[in-house]
Structure 1
Amino acid sequence: MEYRTLGKSGLQISAIGFGCMSLQPDAPHNQQLIDKAIEKGINFFDTADLYAKGMNERMLGSYLKGKRRDVILATKVGNQWREDGSGWDWNASKEYILSAIEDSLQRLGTDYIDLYQLHGGMLEDRKEEVVEAFELLQRQGKIRYYGISSIRPNVIDWYVRHSSIASVMMQYSLLDRRPEEHCLDLLQQHQVGVLARGSLAGGLLINKQPQDYLGHFATVVEQGATAIREQSVTHRDSVQTAIRYVLSNAAISSVVVGIRTAQQLQEALLVPAAPDLTAEEIAALQDAVPANFYEQHRL
């Protein structure tokens, strides 16, 4: 397994992270997936209190019982389920963050979280309160580091300049090159780690029927998938090529892959051993899919 430092945090995390949102509730093979992932070197596991109304955290906590010290555990806060379960509302208040972590710690069966992330964020938030809450939790020893999960450049820019975030989780793939315009360079410059999600574009880059995606017409999506196949070599398949494209950017600390089956885990585990993309291969991929840009929340 390949390991990278998460920004300036000092955390050494696996280049492939285990995205737990995809885990099927109480599926009998989940324990085997987690055990094999750890055995093969994956040490970064990401969940959120939002997923399955907290049950995803509870499941993960049970699967990691006796293995807590072997992993880097990340979860998220900010989306508050309504009491009637009909949906959730955004709540980034200091009071809520300080309350919500107690429930996450209990569900996860741990007394600390390695990376606590704001699950979104808007300019209208009382952002100073968010930072105060996270830094208080750090002093209390309940979290080691904090970050945000956001695709909004103006929100990301504020936290980079006014907090000590260790990381930003954002969507990034050959079909979603929006972070390349500003965010990736900004985060690398400030030594903030990037956790990339959506590297396969929901399967559009590997096996899914082409369809319009983030401003790209289906024909362009098909061009991207074709380019991925063409740049795959003897020791690298399409999944590995698509993820290697994301890992080729120096700002990326880890690609968080949603895993729910043994096959998906096996595909993810093969990525670190796959050859890096050459500069020529990266250029060919970028030539196949024009860069897209954020239309809202710009700086």
Structure 2
Amino acid sequence: MNYNQLGNSGLRISEVSFGCMSLTSSEQKTAIDLLYKALDRGINFFDTADLYEKGENEVMVGKAFKGMRDKVIIATKVGNQWRPDGSGWGWNPTKSYILQAVEESLRRLQTDYIDLYQLHGGTIEDPIDETIEAFELLKQQGKIRAYGISSIRPNVIREYVNRAAIVSVMMQYSLLDRRPEETVLDLLHEHNISVLARGSLAQGLLAGKPAKPYLNYSLEEVDKAAAAVQAVAGANRKPAEVAVRFALHHPAVSSAVLGIRTEEQLQDALLAASTAPLPNSEVEHLKAVLPANKYEQHR
């Protein structure tokens, strides 16, 4: 397993990491076994959120890693507040809410600190300075080691680059979602801010699932991209390996965060981790298959 620096945080994270969102408390034993197997094989970065299963996802991650806190790097997220009646959630990036929510996440995770605390979204209308104040205070208090945001909005990302000491941005990036390439990836790389790439398999469309329209691409275009990935994979690699390696090719990307729920998905993630980086010729061949899409909103 290769490990990369997470921005300027001093944390070194596995370049393929475990997205915990798909794990369910109804299958807790299976889920915790998968977490242990991932850790045993070198994955050290585990991403969850207070939103997932109304906090039960954090509870499960906390239970799994109790007593081995020094062996794992745990990331969670904040900003989505469940309504009292449980009917859904609203957006709350205020300082007071973040300071309240972190205590609940620490309790559920059974830990004294969170390695990476991420704002789970964000809009340009948010009280951004207030949000930053909350994260900076939590760093001073030792309750978090570093902070970042999870966002695909270029205008929001630019504000945090300019105003905050973020170490990472989690965003969707794949052969079928090259929107970050226009400006965001280079901007973050220039400022030593790591990208945590999610969605690198494009809902499995680049890993063998039947083609369907995706973002602004038609079914035929998705099929064309998947066929190109398959051709590059050849006989010795799986399409999932190539798709993940494509997401990792840009130097800004420190880790591909893969949603893992089954043993097969874990094995695919580990295969991708052990696969050599794509040579530039293969990257350029894949890029030439379809025109890159661009962000149409929040520019």
TM-score normalised over the length of structure 2 = 0.98
**Contact in 2 for aligned 1:6/1:12 (Cα 8 Å):** yes
- CA distance in structure 2 between the partners assigned to 1:126 and 1:243 by the alignment: 35
Per-residue displacement from partner, 1:62-107 (whole Å, max 9, x unpaired)? 1111121100100000000001100000000000000000000000
Question: Which stretch of the first structure deviates more once superposed, 218-227 or 200-209?
Answer: 200-209
Secondary structure of 1:54's aligned partner: helix
Q: Secondary structure at the match of 2:8?
A: coil
Unpaired segments of 5 or more residues in structure 2? none
- Equivalence for 2:23: 23
CA displacement 1:211-244 (0-9 Å, x = unmatched): 1111011110000000000001444210100000
Give 1:14's aligned residue.
Answer: 14
CA distance in 2, matches of 1:152, 1:103: 28
Partner of 1:292: 293
> Which letter maps to 1:144?
R
Deviates more, 1:279-288 or 1:134-143: 279-288
1:272 deviation in Å?
2.0
Q: 1:10 is matched by which residue type in structure 2?
A: G
Let me know the Cα RMSD of the aligned residues. Answer: 0.8
Q: Tell me, yes or no, if structure 1 residue 210 matches structure 2 residue 211.
A: yes
Q: What aligned pairs does 1:122-161 form with structure 2 within 5 A after superposition?
A: 122-161=123-162
Asked if the contact 1:235–1:275 (Cα under 8 Å) also holds between the matched residues in 2, the reply is: no
Partner of 1:165: 166
Partner SS state of residue 21, structure 1? coil
Structure 1: distance between partners of 2:191 and 2:253: 13
Note the alpha carbon deviations across 1:167-223, whole angstroms, 9 max, x for none: 000000000000000100000000001000000000111122211111011110000
In 2, the alpha carbon distance for the partners of 1:273 and 1:242 equals 14
Indicate the SS of the match to 1:254.
strand
> Counterpart in 2 of 1:2?
2
Give the partner amino acid of 1:3. Answer: Y
In the TM superposition, what is the alpha-carbon distance from 1:8 to its structure 2 partner?
1.4
Deviations 1:41-70 (A, max 9, x none): 100000000000111001111111112110
**Which residue does the alignment assign to 1:63?**
64
- Give the SS at the match of 2:81: strand
Q: 1:31 touches 1:63 (CA, 8 Å); kept in 2? A: yes
Superposition pairs of residues 275-286 of structure 1, within 5 angstroms: 275-286=276-287
What is the distance in 2 between the residues matched to 1:253 and 1:209? 29
1:278 offset after TM fit, Å?
1.3
**Is residue 113 of structure 2 the alignment partner of residue 107 of structure 1?**
no
Report sequence identity in percent: 58
Q: Are positions 1:81 and 2:82 aligned together?
A: yes
Residue type matched to 2:20 in 1?
C
Q: Is the 8 A contact 1:26 1:59 kept in 2?
A: no
Equivalent position SS for 1:272: helix
Number of aligned residue pairs: 298
CA distance in structure 2 between the partners assigned to 1:55 and 1:120 by the alignment: 20
- The amino acid of 2:25's aligned partner reads P
Q: Distance in 2 between matches of 1:102 and 1:137?
A: 10
Contact kept, 8 Å, 2:208 with 2:239, in 1: the verdict is: no
Contact 2:24 2:53 in 1 (8 A): no
C-alpha separation between the residues in 2 aligned to 1:276 and 1:146?
28
Is contact 2:58–2:105 with CA below 8 Å preserved after alignment? Answer: yes
Answer yes or no: is the 8 Å Cα contact 2:78–2:118 preserved in 1: yes
Match of 2:272, SS? Answer: coil
Check conservation: 1:235, 1:274, Cα contact below 8 A.
Answer: no
Give the Cα separation in 1 of the matches to 2:82 and 2:242: 38
Distance 1:194 1:130 in 2: 20
Instruction: Map Cα deviations across residues 15-42 of structure 1 (whole Å, 9 max, x no partner).
Output: 0110000112241211210111111010
Structure 2 CA distance, aligned partners of 1:142 and 1:282?
40
SS at match of 2:275: coil
